[in-house]
Amino acid sequence: MNHRLRSTVVAAALVASACGLTSTVDEIPINEASIDDATLEEVNALVPDGIPVEFEEMIADDDGKIAYAVAPDLWKISTADVGVEIIPIPGSGVERETTMKIEAVCVGVCGREDWSEYMYNDAFSPFNLPLDTLVKRDEPLAGPAGRSLVGERIDRISDVVVARWNDGATHFFLCRVQLQPEDVALVDAFTAACEAAIPLWVGR
């Protein structure tokens, strides 16, 4: 059921940097992870006919935190700011302001946290979207634990927010997509892409 999410805008208290206490997670070795062809086919099947977007596997490295991710092929990849930002290029078939971002995020001194409590109840949770966002989907994820949310703002910008975590890890995985109103048909494909990512530091 659709409902209104009324909360504060995400603030700068989310600090994405490699610092603080050591993770106790049995991380996935990089040579034991990949996005399989069936998953890529499922994501690409959600792209409507006529939109020239094709999703491919990529490796996102945020300050040494590595995730196998699914993102549009041939888009520009930027690591100039926090996280890994995937940006459309001219002729990509989507609006230039539509963006995808993958991050390894910690809070405070980057210690281990009760991440489920943080995601659902903390004022600085990335799932606290702007006021009057219409939440169209909000579901838990399994293997590893996570949450997937899709919302539409009053200006018709769509937000996709997907996080995965492990309470033994100092950072959680975050995939965020902002789609301009003209690109709303790609919401399902980007949601599936974010959910398909494999953050190695979160473990299995």
How many domains does the chain divide into?
1
pLDDT over 80 (residue 82)? yes
How many Å apart are CA 87 and CA 141, to the nearest integer? 26
* 25 in Cβ contact with 186 (< 8 Å): no
Q: Is residue 160 part of a domain?
A: yes
pLDDT band of 6, cuts 50, 70, 90: very low
**pLDDT the model gives residue 22:** 56
Query: Lowest mean pLDDT: which of 16-20, 142-146, 187-191?
Result: 16-20
Cβ neighbours, 10 Å, residue 36 = 10
Q: Which residues contact 45 (CB under 8 A, 6 or more apart)?
A: none
How many Å apart are CA 138 and CA 150, to the nearest integer? 7
Q: Each residue of 90-111: pLDDT tens digit?
A: 989 999 999 999 999 998 888 8
Q: Is residue 80 part of a domain?
A: yes
CATH assignment of the domain containing 186: 3.40.1000
Query: Lowest mean pLDDT: which of 1-5, 122-126, 172-176?
Result: 1-5
**pLDDT the model gives residue 20:** 41
Query: Lowest mean pLDDT: which of 14-23, 88-97, 103-112, 113-122?
Result: 14-23
Q: Is residue 165 part of a domain?
A: yes
Q: Is residue 60 part of a domain?
A: yes
Range of the domain at 179: 3-120+132-197
* 169 in Cβ contact with 41 (< 8 Å): no
Q: Is residue 204 part of a domain?
A: no
How many Å apart are CA 25 and CA 87, to the nearest integer? 31
Q: Is residue 127 part of a domain?
A: no
Q: Is residue 125 part of a domain?
A: no
**pLDDT the model gives residue 24:** 66
pLDDT, mean over the chain: 87
pLDDT over 90 (residue 7)? no
Our measurement of the distance from residue 165's CA atom to the centroid of its chain's CA atoms, rounded to an integer in Å, reads 12
* 164 in Cβ contact with 199 (< 8 Å): yes
Of the candidates 132, 183, 131, the one whose C-alpha atom is nearest the C-alpha of residue 160 is 183
Residue 30 burial (10 A CB sphere; 0-12, 13-18, 19+): exposed
**pLDDT the model gives residue 101:** 97
Q: Is residue 202 part of a domain?
A: no
Q: Each residue of 151-198: pLDDT tens digit?
A: 999 999 999 999 999 988 999 999 999 999 999 999 999 999 999 999
